[in-house]
């Protein structure tokens, strides 16, 4: 499906063709709290189950609390695959979920976000706080700058993301977001539409040379 944007490249080897794999992993950004609306937790559980049902690996922040815990436990209960990536200093604060089949403890937030990007073929933003917002905006920015074409879906559960979407419209109206600097994403109101939207939004696979891919970063 999508471009593998930062592979390990052996520069001494002959240039080889790399065919991007289909959607296999979906990165979910969400809060370490549950919020006040019970619909958020329900949506997180439904999304986790949907990923397992479609044999898609969940890539997430590795915590056991809040919406992170809800979205991660759901696929585990149905035999799904889950990769948790968490910095060591957050291990106690977010109580890393050790039941996942792959838990990666890293040294910093920067490494965490890079690995989450590398392991994912698509992104989903559930309700969350500043961290969730920052992760979503980073992927929107990288997409805007042409650094990736991986699908981004904003799950606007109970209108949670409405203020953010209005801000984007405000930026567009003031021409900070303009032709040539478009922001590409999809918005869904129903959690059941997240996985189909991600799969439908995946770009066609195009073989690329390793050196070309590596130059993107």
Cα 126 to the chain's mean position, in Å? 10
Q: Is the pLDDT of residue 208 over 60?
A: no
Q: Where are the domains of the chain?
A: 23-203
**What is the band of 195 on the pLDDT scale with cuts at 50, 70, 90?**
very high
Q: Is the pLDDT of residue 19 over 50?
A: no
**What is the band of 169 on the pLDDT scale with cuts at 50, 70, 90?**
very high
- Cα(204)–Cα(20) distance, integer angstroms: 9
CATH architecture for the domain at 23-203: 3-Layer(aba) Sandwich (3.40)
- Cα(60)–Cα(25) distance, integer angstroms: 10
**pTM, 2 dp:** 0.83
Phi, psi angle pair for 17, to nearest 5°: -80, 135
Phi-psi region of 24 (alpha: psi -120 to 50; beta: other; left: phi over 0): alpha
Q: Apex CA 157: angle with CA 203 and CA 55, to 5°? A: 45
- Cα(60)–Cα(215) distance, integer angstroms: 26
- Cα(122)–Cα(198) distance, integer angstroms: 7
Task: Point out which residues pair with 122 in neighbouring strands.
Answer: 26
* 25-29 vs 122-125, strand pairing mode: parallel
Q: Is the pLDDT of residue 209 over 80?
A: no
80-137 pLDDT per residue, tens: 999 999 999 988 777 899 999 999 999 999 999 999 999 999 999 999 999 999 999 9
Name the more confident of 14 and 119.
Answer: 119
């Amino acid at each position: 499906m999508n471009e593998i944007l930062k592979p390990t490249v052996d520069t001494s080897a002959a240039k080889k063709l790399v065919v991007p794999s289909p959607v296999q992993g979906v990165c979910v950004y969400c809060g370490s709290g549950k919020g006040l609306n019970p619909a958020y937790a329900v949506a997180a559980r439904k999304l986790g189950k949907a990923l397992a049902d479609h044999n898609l690996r969940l890539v997430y922040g590795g915590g056991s609390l809040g919406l992170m815990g809800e979205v991660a436990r759901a696929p585990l209960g149905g035999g799904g695959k889950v990769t948790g990536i968490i910095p060591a200093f957050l291990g106690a604060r977010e109580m890393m979920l050790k039941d996942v089949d792959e838990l990666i403890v890293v040294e910093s937030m920067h490494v965490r976000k890079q690995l989450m990007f590398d392991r994912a073929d698509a992104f989903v933003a559930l309700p969350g706080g500043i961290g969730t917002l920052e992760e979503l905006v980073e992927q929107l920015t990288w997409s805007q700058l042409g650094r990736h074409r991986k699908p981004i879906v904003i799950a606007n559960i109970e209108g949670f993301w409405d203020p953010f979407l209005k801000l984007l419209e405000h930026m567009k109206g003031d021409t900070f977001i303009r032709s040539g600097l478009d922001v590409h994403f999809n918005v869904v109101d129903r959690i059941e539409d997240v996985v189909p939207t991600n799969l439908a939004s995946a770009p066609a696979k195009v073989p690329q040379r390793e050196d070309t891919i590596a130059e993107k970063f």
